[in-house]
Structure 1
Amino acid sequence: MALKIAHGDGFIAALDQSGGSSPKALSAYGIGPETYSSGEEMFTLIHAMRCRVLNSPSFNSDSILGAILFEQTMNGGDGRGGPFVAALRAKGIVPFLKVDQGLEDMREGVQLMKPMTRLSKLCERARSLGVFGTKMRAVIHQANEAGIERIVRQQIDCGIQILEHGLVPILEPEVSLACPERSKAERILLELAEREIARLPADRKIIWKLTIPEQDEFYDQLAQSEKVMRVLALSGGYTRDEACKKLSHQSQMIASFSRALLEGLEVNMSAEAFDRAIGESIEQIKQASFSPA
């Protein structure tokens, strides 16, 4: 799995919408909030959407290297009577688990992750199911060096804990597209990321998931670090076309898209139309991941 993630041709699908992002994902899919009356019903609906993606013939290891899952998805079925994680692995797709428990309120221009009180148990459960790695997200809203330093330190600290459980962490300090000094924030983030990865244990690697930078090839040096397995790009608030166009200028980044991957899918599509739509999305994102302009 490490070889596939580090060197494979493809990208990582993000199927980890949480309680905050699931309503938007369902609405885009054609399921409005009037359709469900509880969080449990909402997650049942979004799990069904994820199973439909999983079981699409176009969702395969020719283009999909890995998939990031929400905890309930990891623990759930594949829609065909088997476990979701086992179905992913049977397709040759590497499973990851979202482990953060949401964001703190903004302070010093950033939102740190809330304390992860269940991290050890989540890691143990993930390992037992054959999960390869984890993902955790924080958000940078302003080019505040003190705030960004706190975010990077927290990501590395938690990453070290995850490595101790034998899993590979994806660190996601997202720079908001609305950040008024985005280029400055990205410069601060890069400097601190390169400094803080020195604290990682010897011979252990992590994965970064970052906002597509304003400057082309900006994260090349980070991607080439001996302690970095891969650098992923998140789609943020971009449409799929916009995200793919920008990603095509970053030769050392591959996609890890969520909303952009699912863009255009509708609950009432026939099986053939659904597979065709997800297949076109996957092909476009794969080409952007390996077609630097």
Structure 2
Amino acid sequence: MTAYKLGKIAQSLVHAGKGILAADESSPTIKKRFDRINVPSSEENRRSYREMLFTTQGLEEFVSGVILFDETLRQIAQDGTPFPKVLTNKGIIPGIKVDKGAKALAGFHSEKVTEGLDGLRDRLIEYRELGAQFAKWRAVITIGEGIPTRACIDANAHALARYAALCQEAELVPIVEPEVLMDGKHDIERCEDVTTLTLRRVFAELHEQNVILEAMLLKPNMVISGKTCPRQASVDEVAEATVRCMRRTVPASVPGLVFLSGGQSPEQATENLNRMNVIGQHPWELSFSYGRALQEPAIAAWQGKASNAALVQKALYHRAKCNGAARYGNYTKEME
């Protein structure tokens, strides 16, 4: 596949009014979500829940792609249709999470590096054959006393770049996700400084690894106050700081930014994205790639009961519609 065709897929993922549903929770993560509603995290329960999400009528109006977990990419709907085909039949592009998770960075207390490069080339080929058209790799950067270190940022930036190069070799669009975590008491200014440094290193590594920027997407955190910071930044402050940071670090050749929600409430994530799009024209599309911020109301409505399927789909459709409006800067609280 040519770089041009990969670029067209990347552009399709950030189509006007649309964003990405992140349904790629690892087994431990989705177990935590299910535990909150007292539902066993069995393979069938995971399959059933995700089928409800993927078959939501009209979801394709606001969702361009779905990131799947390895297990989910291989599962089938009740009618025997593989999940990737369920999505493509709706005009939604299937994707796949390919990293193996953030593990302790040897020699550096409280810092992590994402693993999964070993054997990745072969896994990407298999994922492509199973129907995936894009992939995602997440790195985590923690803010704290004396951290992040330059070594941690460099290690994660290098891994992200190697992953992205392997994706493009395998004819998959890479989503590059360097997440500066909200956890901590840092203020918005500290978040902006760390996010700026991180993104500069990431794009330097992407350049070194010959990654084609027109054929990738960036999944950044918003520039936001730490969860336990005494003063929480306003919507205007978050939008202005985030846009300023992105303008200073992200080349215009990248087709789009698909923001992660990072622990924000569903309404907060929508409102912040909306405000960024209200600000004005940007060199790239400003979109979303939300997991919990799209699914939280849906999983609460489910409660593990098949009879609640309509409520699950109604909740997901509503949040997708709100974020679709935020892509144009047209979201209002009255929509809730």
Query: TM over 0.5, yes or no?
Result: yes
Gap regions ≥5 residues in structure 2: 1-8, 225-240, 278-284, 332-336
Is the 2:14–2:287 Cα contact (8 Å) retained in structure 1? no
Post-superposition shift, 1:164? 0.9
Is the 2:196–2:249 Cα contact (8 Å) retained in structure 1? no
> Is structure 2 residue 68 aligned with structure 1 residue 58?
no
Q: In the superposition, relative to structure 1, how do residues 116 and 224 fare at CA in structure 2: closer, same or farther (>3 Å)?
A: closer
* Aligned residue in 2 for 1:192: 201
* Aligned residue in 2 for 1:238: 264
Post-superposition shift, 1:6? 4.4
Post-superposition shift, 1:119? 1.3
Q: Which moved more, 1:177-186 or 1:101-110?
A: 101-110
* Aligned residue in 1 for 2:101: 102
Is the 1:13–1:67 Cα contact (8 Å) retained in structure 2? yes
* Aligned residue in 2 for 1:219: 246
Post-superposition shift, 1:86? 0.7
* Aligned residue in 1 for 2:217: 207
* Secondary structure of the structure 2 residue equivalent to 1:250: helix
Q: In the superposition, relative to structure 1, how do residues 290 and 144 fare at CA in structure 2: closer, same or farther (>3 Å)?
A: farther
Is the 2:112–2:140 Cα contact (8 Å) retained in structure 1? yes
* Aligned residue in 1 for 2:45: 45
Match of 1:182 among 191, 202, 214: 191
* Aligned residue in 2 for 1:69: 68
Q: In the superposition, relative to structure 1, how do residues 260 and 79 fare at CA in structure 2: closer, same or farther (>3 Å)?
A: farther
* Aligned residue in 2 for 1:20: 28
Q: In the superposition, relative to structure 1, how do residues 202 and 255 fare at CA in structure 2: closer, same or farther (>3 Å)?
A: closer
Q: In the superposition, relative to structure 1, how do residues 282 and 27 fare at CA in structure 2: closer, same or farther (>3 Å)?
A: farther
Post-superposition shift, 1:204? 5.4
Q: In the superposition, relative to structure 1, how do residues 271 and 22 fare at CA in structure 2: closer, same or farther (>3 Å)?
A: closer
Letter in 2 for 1:285: N
Task: Report matched runs for 1:26-37 at 5 Å.
Answer: 26-28=34-36, 30-32=37-39, 35=40
Equivalenced residues, count: 283
Is the 1:123–1:162 Cα contact (8 Å) retained in structure 2? yes
Q: In the superposition, relative to structure 1, how do residues 225 and 109 fare at CA in structure 2: closer, same or farther (>3 Å)?
A: farther
Instruction: Give the distance between the partners of 1:275 and 1:6, measured in 2 at CA.
Output: 22
Residue-by-residue CA offset, 1:179-207 (whole Å, 9 max, x unaligned): 53322211201222332332324575221
Post-superposition shift, 1:270? 3.1
* Aligned residue in 1 for 2:5: none
Instruction: Give the distance between the partners of 2:215 and 2:111, measured in 1 at CA.
Output: 25
Instruction: Give the distance between the partners of 1:7 and 1:55, measured in 2 at CA.
Output: 20
Post-superposition shift, 1:95? 0.9
Is the 2:52–2:313 Cα contact (8 Å) retained in structure 1? no
Letter in 2 for 1:193: V
Letter in 1 for 2:196: R
> Is structure 2 residue 296 aligned with structure 1 residue 288?
no
Instruction: Give the distance between the partners of 2:11 and 2:215, measured in 1 at CA.
Output: 12
Gap regions ≥5 residues in structure 1: none
Is the 2:168–2:174 Cα contact (8 Å) retained in structure 1? yes
Letter in 2 for 1:231: L
Instruction: Give the distance between the partners of 2:242 and 2:211, measured in 1 at CA.
Output: 30
* Aligned residue in 1 for 2:168: 163
Is the 2:62–2:320 Cα contact (8 Å) retained in structure 1? yes
Is the 2:15–2:64 Cα contact (8 Å) retained in structure 1? no
TM-score of the pair, normalised by structure 1: 0.88
Post-superposition shift, 1:44? 2.7
* Aligned residue in 2 for 1:134: 135
Letter in 2 for 1:4: S
Letter in 2 for 1:262: Q
Post-superposition shift, 1:108? 6.3
Is the 2:10–2:216 Cα contact (8 Å) retained in structure 1? no
* Secondary structure of the structure 1 residue equivalent to 2:276: coil
Alignment RMSD, CA only?
2.2
Post-superposition shift, 1:229? 2.9
Instruction: Give the distance between the partners of 1:70 and 1:152, measured in 2 at CA.
Output: 22
Letter in 2 for 1:111: K
Greater share of helix residues, 1 or 2?
2
Residue-by-residue CA offset, 1:76-127 (whole Å, 9 max, x unaligned): 1023221100110110001110001111114366321124333123211121
